[in-house]
Structure 1
Amino acid sequence: MKENYCLQAALVCLGVLCHSQAFATERRSHLRPSFHGHHEKGKEGQVLQRSKRGWVWNQFFVIEEYTGPDPVLVGRLHSDIDSGDGNIKYILSGEGAGTIFVIDDKSGNIHATKTLDREERAQYTLMAQAVDRDTNRPLEPPSEFIVKVQDINDNPPEFLHETYHANVPERSNVGTSVIQVTASDADDPTYGNSAKLVYSILEGQPYFSVEAQTGIIRTALPNMDREAKEEYHVVIQAKDMGGHMGGLSGTTKVTITLTDVNDNPPKFPQSVYQMSVSEAAVPGEEVGRVKAKDPDIGENGLVTYNIVDGDGMELFEITTDYETQEGVVKLKKPVDFETKRAYSLKVEAANVHIDPKFISNGPFKDTVTVKIAVEDADEPPMFLAPSYIHEVQENAAAGTVVGRVHAKDPDAANSPIRYSIDRHTDLDRFFTINPEDGFIKTTKPLDREETAWLNISVFAAEIHNRHQEAKVPVAIRVLDINDNAPKFAAPYEGFICESDQTKPLSNQPIVTISADDKDDTANGPRFIFSLPPEIIHNPNFTVRDNRARASKTTQQAAGK
């Protein structure tokens, strides 16, 4: 700060010296006997002659931010009619007259009494006038002039934002534009280098660089990896005076985040997964989960799972849980411990979205072996047949063996089986079963003519776990024996007319009779019809056997 003050003081002195020398030169030129002519260019560029100008004025300059002990001499007004006897009075009016700028009405010297700031106001317009001290009669026409505040480098550059945030894809090429930061300087850009800014990077190398003139931040290293480092903190400096020594500076912080690209394939953390499933599990039940790790995020890290090989492809399936990014192995069909106790699957994990720019990093998939052990479950007994059909003759004595059912425990323990009849299917208790060997017997004689088929159900349960039971239907056919005599359907009567000797009746049917038998066909029809013994020799009537359930009685001719 001390150096700045010294520089400001030197500039003030230099400015005063230059203006004093210019003013003295002007004075010498206007002390000639003739009036000084001031030339101005008109609107169209022509030179206008302004005559009878008898006093000197000029455009003045004052250095801003002057902090010396004495007021700053801005300049001097002087008329060539001023003989130095004090009869001329110089008057100053306009912007800042009397407050900022004061004039010695005798000498015409103008001083600035306050420190000026160009950034607050760059120039002041004043009016100069020379009058007779006694009468206040104007001796010269009033003339307007300007005091310009000369800029010094007193304002550091300021960025539009204190902090910036930007994103750039990982593995971007060197020179990829990230963001542009911009600073401004309140100093005069038309004077010197006070507002000429140069950008440089203070923190963030060697990863990033900044263009000195534009403030554009670019990547400086190839293959920056988000998975290794995601966020970078960069500090950018803007310095005025073209970046040279003595210039003022300002800084801003830029947080740069590497966004993700799909540059990493999924990878299983282990080569083999061990799982198990009970043989009692139902299809759709979850067996286990696998997970391939992908350090990418978002859609770049999405993984889908498939079974590509193995002896369990028909029995197991795999789905993708997109919330956890896991592969869920499920049972597709029932498994049987007694048939096969272990299966092996080859599971593949692959990225859903692949970036062609990084295809050389592939393949974007991985495989793992999944071994599934089938666990034994306490299964219910299994009958050797899905149903049974047995036969027994009707009227067989109680205790007659009808047949046998057979079940076994499919488990390795091979528990003993106990049999029983579902009494809801044998309300009359026609049958009993041996609980140990499954033989079914009758408890009473059966009548086929009442019920030809009997249907019962038999339970088989493990002796050590009665809850594990199976049920099988048993159909029992009652076989017929010839235990029913035929019966006529109804009493019969036949009528014939007395025979006419001229028209004798012979072999004319009198009545058709029929009979029925409750026994089965093999033991019933066909029937044999005949006349009872007491009339079998009657020559007037005969019975014609139709070899069926009916026969006809006919009359024979007289004398025959």
Structure 2
Amino acid sequence: MRTKLPTWRTLSWWHPFFLLWSTIDAQTRYSIPEELKPGAVVGNIAKDLGLVVSELYRRDLRITSEAGKQFFNVDLGKGELVVADRIDREDLCGQRASCLLPLELVINNPLQLHRIEIEILDTNDNSPVFTTKEKVVKIAELVNPGARFPLEAAQDPDVGINSVRSYLLNKNEHFKLSVKNQKDGRKTPELVLEKPLDRERLPVHNLILTAVDGGDPVRSGTSDITVIVLDNNDNAPQFERNVYEANVSENVTPGSEVLRVKATDQDEGLNGEIEYFFAELTADLIMSLFDIESSTGSIIVKGVLDRENNALHRFDVTAKDKGNPEMDGHCSVEVRVTDINDNIPEIIVTSLTSPVPEDSVLGTVIALISAKDPDSGENGKVTLTVSSDSPFKLNPSVSNHYSLVTNGKLDRETYSHYNVKISAADSGKPALRSDKTILVELLDTNDNAPVFSQNSYNVYLKENGVPGSILFSVSASDLDSGENAKISYSILDSKVHDVSVSSYVYMNSENGSIYSMHSFDYEKLKVFEIHVQAKDQGSPSLSSNATVHVFILDQNDNAPAVIYPSSAALGSLSHQRMPRSAKAGHLVTKVTAVDADSGHNAWISYRLAEATDASLFTVSLYTGEVRTKRAVSEQDDSSQRLILEIKDDGEPLQSATVTVSILLEDALHEPISELRHHKASEPSKKTGRITLYLILSLASVSVLSLLTFVILAVKCMRNSRSSGSCCCMRRSDSDDYKNPNRNLQIQLNTDGPIKYVEVLGGDMMSQSQSFRSCMSPMSEYSDFTLIKPSSTTDFKEVISVLDASLPDSTWTFESQQVKELQLCPETVFLAKLRARYERCSRPREDL
């Protein structure tokens, strides 16, 4: 019968002893009594384990129990371990002397494991109980004093001092009580006959057996004993031993004999014939596992023994004779079950941290693992191992506990997860094994920068495009995942002609598309660079750069521009003079034009569109030279008018025209009367004087140029015969020229029947001058012409146009010459123009 439980107030004197803790083998132990109310404080684990109370929430502290049911909680605000549910020691531990409830305290960030043992102390909350409330004992009247008769022992779930301490028998004149102490500490009562019985006087004796425990307050239980006095059959069976012991393996085959009990009876006949039985109130478990042969007393295995469930089986055997009345004797049997290695080790994952950051340092705790094997001794000793091909290892902890930690570098981009195989093996023979696979996923960290598909890109863009059109799209990839792989694109600040590149283009930050801000002009900008950057969204973010080279492609958007003859001074007409003695092939003039475009768009051709007399003149298709087709006759008009059309080779075609007025003269001293639309009948004296001066000046310059040419040509041919027909005079350190900007270039050219030499000279302070001497082997005299370019021409701009339209190989010699002589822009212009002329004058099939 269960009595009222003591309150916490009545147990207050236990408190100083129960709430003690100690660290044993890296374990913390608390002792508390059973039946504490929920909310009772067990101990301050934060203080005892050296934890910071304010960090318990963040570190996600939790408790796991091997008992399955959660009996305790942690007050994270105070760091105290408190009782969460009713604890009944008898339900948890039964009759075991020590009742330990193991707990595992798991703390994350970083992962830690603390093992805590709660010792549940017994309280006297159970009274001794007899299974049988009324016991009948039959004793023959002739039994001698001193005979002993076993009685049923009382059961008390409490342990230690709270269990059964003594038995009491009510006062009577025939019997007394004897208590036998068993090896396991149990106390068994026996009824001892003190005075002979007389059936005729008193056939029935009523006794009361009381069991008392040692608790405070004391608890007790009673059983009624009825002794019946029998007539005759004066000897009861006697066993050879009071206790029979045997060891049997748990894998014993059913039907095997465990042991044999033996009893003797001094009577004869039926009074001496003995049969063996299990004692009354034998547990059903014993009846299912064992059987007894009534005639021989052999104890036989009936069911399957399992040491892990019950290592020791105790029961009583009764031997009865066949007398009238029958007499019986009693003995105890103890069967110990020996262990075999019949249990496979069990792997228990107590805590697992997944996913794990890929940049975790060596030794980072991933999981807490324990092993359990119900076998005993070496059969229950378990060793855990981890697969060697994974970057993890096991560190042993306490009581078959291990921590799975990192043992190598983790890379999510190589392996996004690991299937870690944990193997458990016991030390039995043969050893038993088990495996468990743990999935460990890796958490991405931003350890990879975006990578462009190319380090540099080449973009070819036609000029005059529509503003806002897409130029190009770059793309980058990132091996990371999530936010770490999200890429944004941007243009790094740089300069193009001292202007920020962002003024030319802008970029879509999401897809890497580059758009134009305005239309591009090839003649102003031929190539520029865009430095782009790809940056991820990680923390900290990573980036990489690439270069986009934008090449502007030329379109035919410029018409040819006439450089010579210049029409700025005299309007739209160019006036030339020509002697009437000119033969066929005579070079009248040379029209020179340039095109700011490049390539085919800058290939120029010349055509005679209109002429006063088309039979007299012809124009070279590629050189622009105007020559006579036949000899001039007296019948030809003295004033000839030519319209030349200049076209490029682009699509669509661009063209320009120039009008050349030619005056046929009998001699060079004749006045240029064709400057007017009609001839003057009588030139004035002033006009004739100016004409004379001009003729004299031209003659002087021509003679001087001719002499200079002859001297330089002879000197050049002597020093450098291998130089061909072209010879240049340049300044060097040993030259006597003091003006570094002076340049004199002599070009000997052969064009059909016309041989001419160009003498170019110029400096920074004066206009460039070109002296051309044309000598024809077809005639008896040579022509010497002085050409002076217009001072209004922007030579630097024209040079840049020529530079763009000429191949590199065409300008190699001239550019080298410019570097060595530091020529003025006008001189560079003339040299480049000559190179352009030579290129364009070649037949089309040679280009």
Q: TM-score, normalised by structure 1?
A: 0.50
Q: TM-score, normalised by structure 2?
A: 0.35
